Structure 1
Amino acid sequence: MSDRAGTVLFTVAAVALIALSLHGLLVRPRLTADPRGLRIRTTTGKRDLHWPEVDVRLRTSRRLGRDSATLEIEAGEALFVFGWLELGEDPRDVLETLSGLRP
């Protein structure tokens, strides 16, 4: 006798894991920086931003007893939010690095 519900649940979990793995593989690195500015990569393409047109800030929040930080980059009407998963580093460390690169 087969467990049909278990098979369906396993299949859904496997597909979700594969989709997340592909997303992480294809989209990284999401943010690169140099003294000229930032390059942000999204699923639709790349966007180059010069330092004078961006505002970079750290947003922290506390949920369920855990502190979390996100890096927010605002450029005109666009807002890009990066967490640890997208950056591969603690957003606090990334903000420190970006501050050192910014003229």
Structure 2
Amino acid sequence: MVKLVGAAALAGLGLILHEGDRVQLALALVTAAGLAAWALRDLLAPVRLAADLDGVTVVHGFAGRRRLPWASVEAITVQRRTRFGLAAETLEIDAGESLHLFGRYDLDAPPDEVAETLRAARPG
């Protein structure tokens, strides 16, 4: 909801403050549309990753779902990268021919914790 409110506020500010500058108005509206699309994705597919005894379900594309049986999951790892002084952690699920990446905000939890939970949920 915060993203939708932000998109509306950005569009409103662009309309109010553009002072005849069409480029400024276009940039504000395009940015607001992008933020609204991001919010729509979160509303259509709020659960980005789910696991059960049979496998893992991941978001595929904008809001689709893809089922990965445990047999196709080759590795569950957490990658850590530091760039420009900022550290980022990414959960990687390697399913052979596809690699699925999830950040902290996709998971709503630290990637380390999610990786441990997935490893514990995996049979065998």
TM-score (norm 2): 0.71
User: Percent identity of the aligned residues?
Assistant: 39
The SS at the match of 2:47 is coil
Task: Provide the alpha-carbon RMSD of the alignment.
Answer: 1.9
Is the aligned partner of 1:8 residue 2:8? no
Q: Which one has the bigger strand percentage?
A: 1
Q: Which runs of 4+ in 1 moved over 6 A?
A: none
2:81 pairs with one of 45, 61, 65:
61
Name the larger-Rg structure. 2
Structure-2 change in CA distance of 1:8 and 1:66 (3 Å): same
Q: Which one has the bigger helix percentage?
A: 2
1:51 pairs with one of 64, 70, 78:
70
TM-score (norm 1): 0.84
Unaligned 5+ segments in structure 2 are 1-18
Give, in whole Å, the separation in 1 of the partners of 2:58 and 2:103.
14
Unaligned 5+ segments in structure 1 are none
Higher relative contact order (CA 8 A, sep 6+): 1
| Residue deviations 1:1-52 (CA, integer Å, cap 9, x gap) | 6343332222122111111111222232121001222111213732222223
Give, in whole Å, the separation in 1 of the partners of 2:35 and 2:112.
28
